[in-house]
Amino acid sequence: MNKLSADEQARVMSVLRPQEELLWVGKPLPTTESAAQQPAGLLSKLRNLLVSRPTSATGGSDKLYLLTAKRVVVLPANDPAQEWPLMLGMIQKVNEEPDGSGDVIFDHDYDERTETRTPRGFLRVADVDRVRMLVSSAADAAYNASPWSV
């Protein structure tokens, strides 16, 4: 947790439960779309203004990702935390980019109005394979420690 600012450390501590063991903390990588990849036109510029989220001074998101011995937590700066208990098979999909970054997806939000599915989980993380292994190992350990794993 030493790479986090004092504010970020306080946010992490505020969601941890008593005696909850923190295994990993991460942040999403900054978005790096080039001008050629961004949609052109007035409508897309307006859409970008309407759906833009606040970012930190470094250009990244203010979102934090936490992995504990019992759960995974996505901690947005201004929205309620999203959390999932650790369980076998919780990872629905892993998207890996050529540079090794990517997404570890736990589930999706579905917007009936637009009929779109938005992935939820640890999105745009560096070294996605390592993060996937950490989540899988923590889920295995949590399962093996439970009384139902007999």
**What's the pLDDT score for residue 147?**
72
Provide Rg for the chain, Cα atoms: 17
With cut-offs at 50, 70 and 90, classify the pLDDT of residue 145.
confident
Q: Mapping DSSP to helix (H, G, I), strand (E, B) and coil, where does residue 47 land?
A: helix
Task: Sheet containing 22-26: give its strands across.
Answer: 22-26, 64-68, 71-75, 82-85
Neighbours of 147 (CB within 10 A): 5
With cut-offs at 50, 70 and 90, classify the pLDDT of residue 149.
low
Say if strands 116-125 and 102-111 run parallel, antiparallel, or are unpaired: antiparallel
77, 80, 86: which is closest to 24 by C-alpha?
86
- Over residues 110-120, the pLDDT tens digits come to 999 999 999 99
Q: Among 10-24, 52-66, 132-146, which stretch is predicted with the lowest mean pLDDT?
A: 52-66
- Over residues 60-97, the pLDDT tens digits come to 468 999 999 999 999 998 899 999 999 999 999 999 99
Q: How far is CA 16 from CA 1, 84, 96, 122, in A?
A: 13, 14, 29, 18
Contact 69, 23 (CB under 8 A): yes
Residue 147 per-residue DSSP state: G
Looking at residue 135, its amino acid is V
Class of domain 6-29+44-149: mainly beta
Domain ranges of the chain: 6-29+44-149
**Whose structure tokens read 């990517």?**
102
pLDDT of residue 41 exceeding 70, the answer is no
**What's the pLDDT score for residue 146?**
73
Contact 120, 84 (CB under 8 A): no
